[in-house]
Structure 1
Amino acid sequence: MQLRLIQSELLTENSQIKQVYLQTYVAANGGQLDYQAGDWLLMHAINPEVLVAEILNQLGLQGDETVQLRRIGEVSAEQALSQYLEITQLNPAILNKMQRQLQIGEWDGRQAMMDYAYGRDIVDLLNAFPQMAELGAEFLSWLSPLAPRYYSIASAESQQVKILFKALNYHYAGRDKSGVASNYLAQLPIDAVVEGELKTNPLFKLPENPQTPIIMVGAGTGLAPFLGFIEARQRQQAGENILFFGETEKANACLCCEQLQAAQAKGDLQLFMEFSRDQAEKRYVQDAMREQKALLWQKWQDGAVLYVCGSQKTLAPAVERLWQLWLAEEGGSEQEATQIWQSLRKERRIQFDVY
């Protein structure tokens, strides 16, 4: 499906630590977009030219050599590296294949391969193992297909679709790295046409009864699906909406604050925000939740559904620990609280969209 970019806003223009964008797309053919709040938009990106050129150079290729790609057919080596192959991430499966077939590398098991691959790309691999570059064009058959990137949809309007994302840039293994899709999207000009795909997320859906209260917990770009939830619930004239949102700095990273505060002013949202770097002692969304236990527990007793979107390493376990503590405090052992939590997940009263 082709999408046309009609708006791209850098929300963190004054931030020194992150670049977060809110982008709006419409169907390039002018048609309707069929999705629900909570679904994903899969975006197909193009790899950075500088990285493609570096790999071609290391492999001793000009770029016009013909290669055969599964499900694609014959393309040039440059096209393969630019459009169809994963080069900004190192798939641990490549290391396993190297070790099994060529006896290259000394990784002790799958976890060691995963640890080595983390944060590295294909240039790092060729730098560390120049014998792989001797394969020339054959090396391209070792690479994984370039997968589309998933973005939680930040809207509910069928005429358009919005995404909220951070342009990923980091330094690792002695080189500057960047996320392929996020930086590709960030650099798009208005009216650019890109390939995308709407994909349902059956595990992150609003309750069938619009009067059911909802509790939303998000940090950073984990705010995205909740923007869609709020928009959809406002149209439904739905029940109570409570949002706990966390970021780094209010002055420079208060994502979509005007939209959130407008919903709050209309009485459509109870909003609690925490900014971790705005005081000496860092505060996070779970701190605000802890202070609002009475409110949250009352809404929970009223049948509220809990939604969590954000990091699976930090936000998700923090919310899980807090909620299980409350379940234990309200009656039962820690083991019983864990069992109840797992049961609630299965019943969809607690829903996670984490990354």
Structure 2
Amino acid sequence: MKNFWRFIFRKHLPSTSLCQMDFAVLGLGDSSYAKFNFVAKKLHRRLLQLGGTALLPVCLGDEQHELGPDAAVDPWLHDLWEKVLGLYPMPLDLSVTPPGVPLPSKFTMQFLPETPRTCSEEQRVTRTDPQNPPSELHPFLAPMVTNQRVTGPSHFQDVRLIEFDIAGSGISFAAGDVVLIQPQNAASHVQQFCQVLGLDPEQCFTLQPREPDVPCPTRLPQPCSVRHLVSQYLDIVGVPRRSFFELLACLSPSELERDKLLELSSAAGQEELSQYCSRPRRTALEVLCDFPCTAAAIPPDYLLDLIPPIRPRAFSIASSLLAHPSRLQILVAVVQYQTRLREPRRGLCSSWLASLHPGQGPVQVPLWVRPGGLTFPETADTPVIMVGPGTGVAPFRAAIQERVAQSQAGNFLFFGCRWRDQDFYWEAEWKELEKRGCLTLITAFSREQKQKVYVQHRLRELGPLVWELLDRQGAYFYLAGNAKYMPSDVSEALTSIFQEEGGLSGPDAAAYLARLQRTLRFQTETWA
């Protein structure tokens, strides 16, 4: 993909390069991010510049739409097939697969009559090659050292500071990097899933692709137990997409359940599907429990077509190897919230991590590291302004530890939380660094006064300092945290500072901010 991207953006390509090509671009994105579907838009424009003919306007699927990306994708696909079949009619010797007939499964499962010695509960396919750093294919099984709640007992959210021992792993990281963790399903959910589908968790199988060029999932051992498949691979507590209901309808032997599944998977039934599944965040396991006849009849061959794999979760690294050798720390907000469903919704990875107790016995977590979106200046005299409300402060703790260890001054941290005595992460550490003259800390405790105060308010209050640091001292500005409102509020505060303290007009202030972003002096790491 990188080679393709570099090639089509070569400046010397003539404007007629793609004059004989018809194309259509479908983008999937999330409008809570500033560069929503940026790649799809840019690709569409470039293909036009090179002489290609667009069959349709670019489609911008949006994860934030109440009906999900399908709200845009459905009508676009309908129009696309009309265009394509008009230009390229289907050969007479081919026919369309009729509705209700499933395509063949991607894999077949060959169940073994006896449990082989290598098919035991802890087949560890996650071994580290000493010649290469850990990766998604070969994560490091890091011993968990501590798992400490760092919010007060009366605070609404459980936030954990978790430390791993990475000695001998070959893992190295710098401030701004992220660690990826491969979570597992809860044992109770694994048991319930196997019961609903009539599977024996101890039974072992081998996996065979139906097509010769299709590889087997590298994360699954051969042979593999059903328990391993369900606990460590299938995302049974994810919110299923429309394709899940389409395939279930094809596999259902129950007319009553099949009719309902067809309704939920139809274009006309998307509002009902949203009400039933997306809005209350109903999981795949809960859906299967609602359609018991269908669930009990699912051929095991279709499990990997029906349920996607568990994806790793990324966390900002909250420590520096210069301050904590052979250790890696993360700050984890345990996700739990209520919808109209009786059971609370829980984040898979954060809940799994919170459930681990290293004090009760050895605990190992599969993880690896990759570069993050934040890079910090190496020069000792370049100031940095870091804005990290809540758990967004995690990457800045790593940066401050690293910079202090390297005698880099000019560290300015804007930290925001609700209550000083409930969720002021690393308060003692910050205070000690302040005493040593290594840090300037500015706090915003939003609930401790009648009028809520956030980090953007503190930025405005200290506008002269912010302008001095950015414009005259060449400071770098960093922002990390929730993507919903905070990034735009902070950007507005900066634009206001540029106008009030720098005397810039509105357009010039916006251009100044854009220049900071372009030169990487304004960097963000946000999440939805």
TM-score (norm 2): 0.61
Give distance in 1, aligned partners of 2:370 and 2:249.
36
- Contact 2:384–2:475 (CA under 8 A) maintained in structure 1: yes
Give distance in 1, aligned partners of 2:524 and 2:490.
11
Deviation (angstroms), 1:288: 1.3
Deviation digits for residues 244-270 of structure 1 (CA, Å, limit 9, x no counterpart): 111111111111111111111111111
Q: 1:97 to 1:207 in 2, by over 3 A?
A: farther
Residue ranges of structure 1 left out of the alignment (5+ in a row): none
Give distance in 2, aligned partners of 1:271 and 1:77.
52
Give distance in 1, aligned partners of 2:444 and 2:266.
42
Give distance in 2, aligned partners of 1:334 and 1:99.
55
Give distance in 2, aligned partners of 1:347 and 1:312.
22
Give distance in 1, aligned partners of 2:302 and 2:450.
51
Name which of 266, 273, 277 aligns with 2:443.
Answer: 273
Give distance in 1, aligned partners of 2:282 and 2:387.
31
Q: 1:258 to 1:130 in 2, by over 3 A?
A: same
Give distance in 2, aligned partners of 1:96 and 1:336.
51
Deviation (angstroms), 1:177: 2.2
Q: Partner residue of 1:327?
A: 498
Give distance in 2, aligned partners of 1:127 and 1:335.
56
Q: Partner residue of 1:21?
A: 160
Aligned partner of residue 442 in structure 2, secondary structure: strand
Q: Which structure's residues are more often strand, by fraction?
A: 1
Worse overlay, 97-106 or 57-66 = 97-106
Worse overlay, 221-230 or 166-175 = 166-175
Structure 2 counterparts to residues 1-355 of structure 1, below 5 A: 1-27=140-166, 30=168, 33-66=171-204, 68=207, 70-71=217-218, 72=220, 73-92=222-241, 94-95=243-244, 98=247, 103-106=262-265, 108=267, 116-117=277-278, 119-127=281-289, 132-133=294-295, 134-135=297-298, 137-138=300-301, 140-141=303-304, 142-157=306-321, 158-174=325-341, 175-190=343-358, 191-201=362-372, 203-301=373-471, 302-329=473-500, 330-355=502-527
Give distance in 1, aligned partners of 2:492 and 2:266.
34
Worse overlay, 182-191 or 129-138 = 129-138
Aligned partner of residue 172 in structure 1, secondary structure: coil
Give distance in 1, aligned partners of 2:340 and 2:180.
29
Give distance in 1, aligned partners of 2:339 and 2:202.
31
Q: 1:91 to 1:334 in 2, by over 3 A?
A: farther
> What amino acid is the match of 1:4?
P
Aligned partner of residue 252 in structure 1, secondary structure: coil
Deviation (angstroms), 1:99: 9.4
Give distance in 1, aligned partners of 2:180 and 2:201.
28
Deviation (angstroms), 1:208: 2.5
Deviation (angstroms), 1:136: 5.0
Deviation (angstroms), 1:66: 4.7
Give distance in 2, aligned partners of 1:56 and 1:163.
33
> What amino acid is the match of 2:157?
K
Give distance in 2, aligned partners of 1:216 and 1:173.
38
Deviation (angstroms), 1:86: 1.4
Deviation digits for residues 163-185 of structure 1 (CA, Å, limit 9, x no counterpart): 11111122224122221221222
- Contact 1:168–1:178 (CA under 8 A) maintained in structure 2: yes
Give distance in 1, aligned partners of 2:249 and 2:488.
37
Deviation digits for residues 310-348 of structure 1 (CA, Å, limit 9, x no counterpart): 001122221122223333444555444434433322211
Aligned partner of residue 244 in structure 1, secondary structure: strand
Determine which structure has greater relative contact order: mean sequence separation of CA pairs < 8 Å that are 6+ residues apart, divided by chain length.
1
Q: 1:53 to 1:212 in 2, by over 3 A?
A: same
Deviation digits for residues 290-324 of structure 1 (CA, Å, limit 9, x no counterpart): 11111111111111111111001122221122223
- Contact 1:8–1:22 (CA under 8 A) maintained in structure 2: yes
Give distance in 2, aligned partners of 1:96 and 1:296.
53
Q: 1:290 to 1:70 in 2, by over 3 A?
A: same
Deviation (angstroms), 1:108: 4.9
Give distance in 2, aligned partners of 1:123 and 1:70.
22
- Contact 1:154–1:161 (CA under 8 A) maintained in structure 2: yes
- Contact 1:218–1:309 (CA under 8 A) maintained in structure 2: yes
Aligned partner of residue 264 in structure 2, secondary structure: coil
Give distance in 1, aligned partners of 2:192 and 2:340.
16
Residue identity (%): 27
Aligned partner of residue 216 in structure 1, secondary structure: strand
Deviation digits for residues 26-76 of structure 1 (CA, Å, limit 9, x no counterpart): 12x545641001101111221111222222232233324556463325423
- Contact 1:324–1:337 (CA under 8 A) maintained in structure 2: yes
Deviation (angstroms), 1:212: 0.6
Give distance in 1, aligned partners of 2:438 and 2:419.
25
Give distance in 1, aligned partners of 2:413 and 2:245.
44
Q: 1:80 to 1:272 in 2, by over 3 A?
A: same
- Contact 1:60–1:136 (CA under 8 A) maintained in structure 2: no
Q: Partner residue of 2:98?
A: none
Q: 1:65 to 1:340 in 2, by over 3 A?
A: farther
Q: 1:291 to 1:143 in 2, by over 3 A?
A: same
Deviation digits for residues 225-259 of structure 1 (CA, Å, limit 9, x no counterpart): 11101101101111211111111111111111111
Worse overlay, 120-129 or 304-313 = 120-129
Equivalenced residue count is 353
Q: 1:123 to 1:171 in 2, by over 3 A?
A: farther
- Contact 2:337–2:345 (CA under 8 A) maintained in structure 1: yes
> What amino acid is the match of 1:216?
M
> What amino acid is the match of 2:374?
F
Deviation (angstroms), 1:224: 0.6
Q: 1:6 to 1:136 in 2, by over 3 A?
A: same
Worse overlay, 96-105 or 37-46 = 96-105
Deviation digits for residues 169-204 of structure 1 (CA, Å, limit 9, x no counterpart): 222241222212212222223242221101111x30
Residue ranges of structure 2 left out of the alignment (5+ in a row): 1-139, 208-215, 251-260
Give distance in 1, aligned partners of 2:196 and 2:149.
36
- Contact 2:141–2:365 (CA under 8 A) maintained in structure 1: yes
TM-score (norm 1): 0.89
